Amino acid sequence: MSLRHALLGLLAERAQSGYDLTKKFELSMKRYAWHASHSHIYPELKRMAAEGLVEVVDEGLRGRRTYAITGSGRTELRNWMLSPPTNAVVRNEDALRLFLLSSLDRPDAEHLLGRIIDTAEREVAHMREVVADVEGIGDADGPPLFGHFAAEFGLRYHLMELDWARWALGRLTSPAR
């Protein structure tokens, strides 16, 4: 159940509403870290509030409820962050397609790799912007910003994917060895 730790981590940065959290998942988190929809996030926030890990600190317009992390929430988050991953859950639909590439005949495989390359190129361009944004905001003397490391990881991930797909396509069209 890592959703709760994802939420605690985001709330550790700043207090915010379920709606804000949902958007963060949609915009960045779900790309390479964790996927979640609002219908999962809202009930989870309620449960966490009942358990004292978070608390409602403000009720604004349109029923907006701002949640903040509590002391016990911070303890829980730190414990999870530092605990060795026992059997870390990994699910990646795209990586699964890569894994099963050889089940396709050559034309199909080439087509799929072509699409992967296109997508990765777009992702790389996007992540370059994100990284530049984060660098721009940065306060040179302060601690590294939240999201800075994550953005860099995302950029490197997609660059790696792009390199790999190009290499694989090369192998496919002219099996060198």
**Interaction partner, residue 94 (DNA, a second copy, none; CB < 5-8 Å by kind):** a second copy
- For position 174 contacting a second copy by CB under 8 A, the verdict is no
From the CB of 147, what's the least distance to DNA, in Å? Answer: 19
* Pair of tokens at residue 24: 């963060």
From the CB of 121, what's the least distance to DNA, in Å? Answer: 26
From the CB of 35, what's the least distance to DNA, in Å? Answer: 5
16-17, strands of its sheet edge to edge = 16-17, 65-69, 54-59
Q: Are 43 and 94 in contact (CB under 8 A)?
A: no
Candidates 21, 29, 48, 134: give the one binding a second copy (CB under 8 A). Answer: 29
- For position 131 contacting a second copy by CB under 8 A, the verdict is no
Q: 81-100: which residues touch DNA (CB under 7 A)?
A: 87, 89, 91
From the CB of 76, what's the least distance to a second copy, in Å? Answer: 12
Candidates 62, 96, 136, 174: give the one binding a second copy (CB under 8 A). Answer: 96
CB-based contacts of 36, cutoff 8 Å, min separation 6: 3, 6, 22, 25, 29, 30
- Burial (CB < 10 A; 0-12, 13-18, 19+), residue 165, is buried
Q: Tell me 61's DSSP state.
A: G
Main-chain dihedrals φ then ψ at residue 127, nearest 5 degrees: -70, -30
Q: What is the dihedral of CA 53, 59, 61, 62, to 10 degrees?
A: 60
Site residues for a second copy per CB under 8 A = 2, 5-6, 9-10, 12-13, 29-35, 77-78, 81-82, 84-85, 87-104, 106, 108, 111-112, 115, 135, 138, 140-141, 143-150, 152-153, 156-157, 159-160, 163-164, 167-168, 171-172, 175, 177
